[in-house]
Amino acid sequence: MSPGRTSSRPTSKKARRPKPSPFDELVLQVLAFRDRRDWRQFHNPKDLSISISLEAAELLELFQWKHPEEVAGLVADPQGHRRVSWEMADILILLISLADILGVDLIKAAREKLEENDRKYPVARARGSARKYRDL
């Protein structure tokens, strides 16, 4: 192209939507999975909360009565690690479903809760301590 000439390409740029985050993509997958099966009708806060608790109990069961060395062996073993990760995934899937039903933005709620915890547990007083905030 010679000096002084401009490109023949249009100068207007179309507004592009930002690429969804991996978490946003997961949310869409979870909701699509649910909706393809017409399961939303069964999803209510009570039953989803119960299901989260039950799945958390299944996660706990994997660690129950095990010494720290046994837990380390469980998570080091590929099959044990998969069992743990799948129970965690069940909890996350149900939590996403509950958040959808209740209109909760999980990322925003988690950030707000971290800010609250930062106020309750200032580093200067909480570092290295397992005590509750009111006992610091």
36-71 pLDDT, tens digit per residue, is: 999 999 999 999 999 999 999 999 999 999 999 999
Do residues 107 and 23 lie in contact, with contact meaning Cβ atoms separated by under 8 Å? Answer: yes
pLDDT tens by residue, 81-92: 999 999 999 999
Query: For 22-33+42-127, which CATH superfamily applies?
Result: MazG-like (1.10.287.1080)
Domain ranges within the chain, ordered by starting residue: 22-33+42-127
Q: Which of the four pLDDT bands, split at 50, 70 and 90, describes residue 8?
A: low
**How far apart are alpha carbons 49 and 53 in whole angstroms?**
6
